[in-house]
């Protein structure tokens, strides 16, 4: 195994200077990683927060930095190569994202039966990244699995959780970074206290009980970021329109890939140009360029604890049926009414995947024994927020907004007063 030589620093607005090894520099200079410069982190949010134009590249660098920091700070016997592997996995963890990030996820799932994580592993294994990793003395398959939290190392199973868990390097970076670039301010969480108080308990990462207030702040910030950034009604209007344009272009044969090279040709710039030229969807792009967005006519929140409601909201047939009923009552074509819920793959970081109750806690006795505790037994805040909510929204064109609102209330019930507050 080659010694990992220090190459230099990259200036980051969140963490200051991020140090880079020569191995990481070689991976960073590959086409798959450089493509991430042309994929926005939270596509659609720039229509709400004009400064939210940051990309997957700086997020990947941040995850690399935090993954390495967490691996180094854990009080377990990790070799230098383990730390370097975690850093490389963090750097590559989002390489499979498609144009407009999570908005493209609907295309991947519907037409290719894959997710961006599947494509991340594919690119690490079959693109030039593989040659760089192998030449540096590492195993591309191992890093590809760890990048999506699926390494399943029998001796060190907690390595997966550094990249993918309830409190991982990925979530810690995007929460702070997305809040910073939007100006939403909810990401002011002391993530370093979480990192420095983490340990390994029964082969899993756990947070020291002394950091419980910080963990609560982290969970609250996640909920508020979801409401104000990832599922903001205007940002989602943009994403819904983009998703529709992508689907129409795909059905017209304008978007297709079979090889890694063809997939790497797809980024925000190239696909935007495709959408502008495609006769079936260019009207959507023209509307986006004028910020003529769909309008939210109806909104209602349901708590996840109601499994019947949750199941209905995740069923595409149910949503289509509701949209048709609302359209019929409004004397509109069904395609003029859109139902949006957080369970869609195009919604970034929806909360169903990050349940706070999965976060292990522990406290140390005077003898140094680590005693596990259940987070929801110790924190009423986290216990209340662990289920959070599902939100169902109905979108339509501005000129149909009022009649669709009335029809939606007939079908879904009257909106509670809380939904009248815009966020």
Average pLDDT, the chain: 91
Inform me whether the pLDDT recorded for 297 exceeds 90. yes
Cα 250 from chain centroid?
23
> Could you read off the pLDDT of 65-74 as tens digits, one per residue?
999 999 999 9
Number of domains in the chain: 1
Inside any domain, residue 35: yes
Residue 60 has pLDDT above 80, yes or no: yes
In a domain, 250, yes or no: no
The two three-digit tokens of residue 84, written as one number: 């370097």
Reported as a pLDDT band with limits 50, 70 and 90, residue 420 is: very low
Q: Which of 15-19, 246-250, 297-301 is the least confident region?
A: 297-301
Q: Is residue 69 part of a domain?
A: yes
Q: What is the mean pLDDT of residues 192-201?
A: 96
Q: What is the pLDDT of residue 422?
A: 43
Q: Give 305's pLDDT tier (boundaries 50, 70, 90).
A: low
pLDDT in tens, 353-388: 445 456 789 998 998 899 998 887 888 788 777 665
Average pLDDT over residues 145-167: 95
Please give the pLDDT value at position 343: 81
CB contact at 8 A, 222 and 179 = no
Residue 421: what pLDDT?
43
Residue 19: closest CA among 57, 70, 69, 76: 69
The model's confidence at residue 275, banded by pLDDT at 50, 70 and 90, is very high
pLDDT of residue 107: 96
> Is 394 within a domain?
no
What distance in Å separates the CA atoms of residue 224 and residue 182, rounded to the nearest whole number? 13
| Token couple for 149 | 């939290």
Q: What percent of the chain has pLDDT over 70?
A: 91
Q: What is the CATH number of the domain that holds 134?
A: 1.10.3210.10
Rounded to an integer, the average pLDDT of 168-195 is 94
pLDDT band at residue 16 under the 50/70/90 scheme: very high
Residue range of the domain that includes 226 = 6-233
pLDDT score at 387? 60
What's residue 314's pLDDT? Answer: 72
- Is residue 305 in some structural domain? no
pLDDT tens digits for 98-113?
999 999 999 999 999 9
Q: How many other β-carbons are positioned within 10 Å of the β-carbon of residue 324? A: 16
Inside any domain, residue 167: yes
261-267 mean pLDDT: 98
Q: Would you say the pTM of this structure is higher than 0.85?
A: yes
Token pair belonging to 91: 């750097």
342 within a domain of the structure (yes/no) = no
**pLDDT higher than threshold 60 for residue 1:** no
pLDDT of residue 312: 67
Residue 241 included in any domain: no
Binned at pLDDT 50, 70 and 90, residue 306 comes out as low
How much is the average pLDDT of 291-316? 78
pLDDT tens digits for 209-260? 999 999 999 989 988 899 899 999 999 999 999 999 999 999 999 999 999 9
């Amino acid at each position: 195994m080659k010694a990992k030589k220090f190459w230099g620093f990259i200036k980051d607005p969140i963490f200051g200077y991020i140090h880079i090894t020569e191995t990481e520099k070689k991976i960073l200079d590959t086409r798959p990683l450089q493509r991430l410069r042309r994929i926005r982190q939270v596509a659609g949010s720039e229509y709400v927060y004009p400064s939210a134009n940051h990309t997957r590249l700086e997020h990947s660098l941040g995850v690399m930095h935090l993954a390495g920091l967490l691996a180094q700070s854990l009080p377990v016997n990790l070799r230098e190569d383990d730390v370097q592997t975690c850093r490389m996995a963090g750097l590559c963890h989002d390489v499979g994202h498609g144009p407009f990030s999570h908005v493209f996820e609907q295309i991947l799932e519907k037409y290719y039966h894959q997710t961006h994580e599947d494509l991340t592993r594919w690119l690490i294994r079959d693109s030039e990244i593989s040659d760089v990793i192998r030449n540096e003395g590492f195993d591309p398959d191992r890093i590809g699995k760890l990048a999506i939290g699926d390494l399943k190392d029998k001796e060190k199973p907690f390595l997966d959780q550094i990249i993918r868990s309830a409190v991982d390097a990925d979530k810690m970076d995007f929460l702070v970074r997305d809040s910073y670039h939007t100006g939403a301010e909810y990401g002011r969480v002391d993530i370093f206290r979480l990192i420095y108080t983490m340990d390994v308990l029964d082969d899993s990462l756990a947070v020291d009980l002394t950091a419980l207030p910080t963990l609560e702040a982290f969970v609250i910030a996640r909920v508020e970021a979801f409401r104000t950034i990832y599922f903001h009604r205007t940002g989602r209007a943009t994403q819904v329109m983009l998703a529709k344009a992508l689907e129409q272009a795909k059905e017209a044969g304008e978007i297709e890939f079979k090889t890694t090279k063809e997939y790497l040709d797809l980024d925000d710039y190239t696909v935007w140009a495709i959408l502008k030229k495609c006769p079936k969807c260019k009207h959507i792009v023209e509307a986006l360029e004028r910020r003529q967005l769909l309008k939210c006519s109806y909104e209602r929140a349901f708590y996840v604890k109601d499994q019947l409601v949750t199941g209905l909201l995740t069923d595409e047939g149910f949503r289509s049926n509701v949209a048709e009923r609302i359209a019929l009552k409004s004397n509109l074509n069904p395609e003029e009414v859109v139902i949006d819920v957080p369970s869609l793959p195009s919604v970034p970081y929806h909360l169903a995947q990050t349940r706070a109750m999965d976060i292990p806690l522990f406290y140390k006795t005077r003898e140094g024994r680590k005693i596990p505790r259940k987070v929801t037994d110790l924190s009423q805040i986290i216990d209340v927020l662990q289920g959070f909510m599902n939100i169902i929204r109905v979108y339509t064109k501005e000129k149909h907004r009022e009649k669709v609102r009335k029809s939606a209330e007939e079908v879904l019930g009257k909106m509670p007063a809380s939904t009248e507050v815009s966020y």
